[in-house]
A and B are shown apart, each in its own frame.
Chain A
Amino acid sequence: MLNTAIHLLLLLLLPPLLPGVINKTKALFAGRQGPPLLQSYYDLAKLMRKDLVLSSTTTWIFVAAPVVTLVAVLLAGLLLPLGPFGAPIAFTGDLILFAYLLGLGRFFTTAAALDTGSAFEGMGAAREVTFACLAEPALFFALLALAKISGALDLSAMLHDPLAGPLHTVMAPLVLVAIGLFIVLLAENCRIPVDDPNTHLELTMIHEVMVLDHSGPLLGLVLYGAAIKLFVLSALILHVIAPFQTGHPWVDWPMFVGEMLGLAVGVGVTESIMARLQMRHVPYLLIAAVLFCGFGFVLLVR
């Protein structure tokens, strides 16, 4: 019960800290001081107090999309176990629901972008969907490999202790799956080798361009949903790269938060040392992610 409460609290409160940590890391690499760690919380508070401006071409989809996206990623976060603790909701086959909740969020974001009738936003929506076609198989192959290792089909059982099998057959596929999932994490959260969250050139943006018309509380919801998506995918990848547990909840929860912040620093370092890929080279990276996760699976069934 207590663990479920902590799960909910972390899921609702921790995510906006992650972009703060990433931005701070990038600022340190660039020799700047950078925005404060809590900047995302201030931004959200500011946006929530603002007025809403709606374009006259938009319909109800435009208003509904940020809400649906936020709810979808929150539900995905409830299905996913955090650290060594069980998820609040778990049933056989919930990995499919998990993947398609993320898909539903994306569908509504792109639908809202098309709803504005702006040429730029349509372009962003097309790019987002194109790249998602490649990121989703990678995610599925990764989940398939993890299901094969554990023999379970619900996220809580299959993500706990991925090292359950004989170590020499499991380790190599897990390395491949971890690399593939990290690329998916970068692509899904529009981090640098795929998309630059700071850019404001419509011609090169992917995710940012889709939310150009959102303002005030709706933009706040979009940003909050994006932070939660980052949190959820980071929690997924942490199961693969850091499956440590002590069995004592008061050690494991702080350790989980520490691992999460460490992964955010890792993302910040990746963004600092890499240049952004050309738009036409992004599919290569994503296909590499599919191949990594697919190979992980092939190695297991070999």
Chain B
Amino acid sequence: MASIVNSLLVVVLGLNLFALGSSRLNAVIRIVALQGALLGFLPLLIHQPIGLAAVVAAVAAIVLKGIVIPIMLTSALQRAQIKREVEPLIGLLPSMILGALVTGFAMMFAAYLPVAREHSDLLLVPASLATVLVGFILLTTRFKAISQVIGYLVLENGIFIFGMLLVDAMPLTVEMGVLLDLFVGIFVVCIIVNHINQAFASMDTRRLVELKE
């Protein structure tokens, strides 16, 4: 089982790099959707035996992150008629290399952390740290409001991986609450994106710093 979980996690780490390196917003949305859907299978693999709580958490995560949120983001993108390119503060290649560096850093750092023995051969801690850091890179280096939402999604994926460590301790309601928050947050942002676009004719967060009446 550990081998399948680890393979899944390295694919997730790879998707982080592709999310940092792709130049089209649509492609980034699809990559993050795939990442979320893959992560949805984690509770099923880690919980043995599979209980109802794990199945509910997995199905909810897969449907929400793999299908509903990407559809909302894509339609918001279409309605707001944003240009399809991401506008990074630092280039795509440097941000990919930065992503690789933080992944390596997460690997080294996680090796020093005391983890419960049943998790010690899993890559859960380094993968979650790396995904959170990549989420930060996406959040801080992209100028479009919608790509910041995508960075937030990646950040949440990292936290979701970390949550797998305490999945026995964390009740289903907390898990569902997090998913609901995420869903509502993105729902609101997708509406706001549309309104900002009508009011300011720009989605560039650099221009959204001044208050006016």
- CA distance in complex: A295, B123 (Å): 13
**Any B CB within 8 A of the CB of A29:** no
A292 pairs with B14, CB closer than 8 A: yes
Most buried by A among B3, B21, B23: B3
**Any B CB within 8 A of the CB of A219:** no
Interface size on B, residues (CB 8 A): 25
- CA distance in complex: A167, B5 (Å): 12
B64-104 interface with A by 8 A CB criterion: 92-93, 96-97, 100, 103-104
Most buried by B among A170, A288, A291, A298: A291
Q: Which residue of chain A is the closest to B1 with respect to CB atoms?
A: A168
A172 pairs with B7, CB closer than 8 A: yes
A281 pairs with B3, CB closer than 8 A: no
Q: Which residue of chain A is the closest to B6 with respect to CB atoms?
A: A172
Chain A residues near B107 (CB, 8 Å)? 298-299, 302
A281 pairs with B7, CB closer than 8 A: no
CB distance from B124 to the nearest CB of A (A): 12
**Any A CB within 8 A of the CB of B2:** yes
**Any B CB within 8 A of the CB of A44:** no
- CA distance in complex: A173, B104 (Å): 14
CB distance from B91 to the nearest CB of A (A): 10
> Given A175-B11, A295-B13: A302 and B111 within 8 A (CB)?
yes
Q: A143-171: contact bitstring with B at CB < 8 Å (1 yes, 0 no)?
A: 00000000000000000000000011111
**Any A CB within 8 A of the CB of B178:** no
**Any B CB within 8 A of the CB of A90:** no
B3 pairs with A291, CB closer than 8 A: no
Chain A residues near B4 (CB, 8 Å)? 171
- CA distance in complex: A299, B127 (Å): 12
**Any B CB within 8 A of the CB of A283:** yes
- CA distance in complex: A170, B23 (Å): 33
**Any A CB within 8 A of the CB of B143:** no
Q: Which listed residue, B7, B93, B121, touches A284 by the CB 8 Å rule?
A: B93
Q: Which listed residue, B6, B14, B18, B100, touches A171 by the CB 8 Å rule?
A: B6
B96 pairs with A284, CB closer than 8 A: yes
A179 pairs with B6, CB closer than 8 A: no
A270-302 interface with B by 8 A CB criterion: 281, 283-285, 287-288, 291-292, 295, 298-299, 302
- CA distance in complex: A86, B23 (Å): 44
Q: Which residue of chain B is the closest to A179 with respect to CB atoms?
A: B14
Q: A74-92: contact bitstring with B at CB < 8 Å (1 yes, 0 no)?
A: 0000000000000000000
> Given A168-B3, A298-B107, A302-B111: A287 and B10 within 8 A (CB)?
no
Q: Which residue of chain B is the closest to A283 with respect to CB atoms?
A: B93
- CA distance in complex: A168, B2 (Å): 5
CB distance from A297 to the nearest CB of B (A): 11
Chain B residues near A167 (CB, 8 Å)? 2-3
A171 pairs with B7, CB closer than 8 A: yes
Interface residues of A (CB under 8 A from B): 167-176, 179, 281, 283-285, 287-288, 291-292, 295, 298-299, 302
Interface residues of B (CB under 8 A from A): 2-4, 6-7, 9-11, 13-14, 17-18, 21, 23, 92-93, 96-97, 100, 103-104, 107, 111, 121, 123
What 10 pairs between A and B have smallest CB-CB spacing? A171-B3, A172-B6, A168-B2, A175-B7, A172-B10, A167-B3, A168-B3, A284-B21, A291-B100, A168-B121
Can you list 28 residue pairs at the A/B interface with Cβ under 8 Å? A167-B2, A168-B3, A169-B121, A170-B3, A171-B3, A171-B4, A172-B6, A172-B7, A172-B9, A172-B10, A172-B123, A173-B10, A175-B11, A176-B10, A288-B17, A288-B18, A288-B96, A291-B96, A291-B100, A292-B14, A295-B10, A295-B13, A295-B100, A295-B103, A295-B104, A298-B107, A299-B107, A299-B123
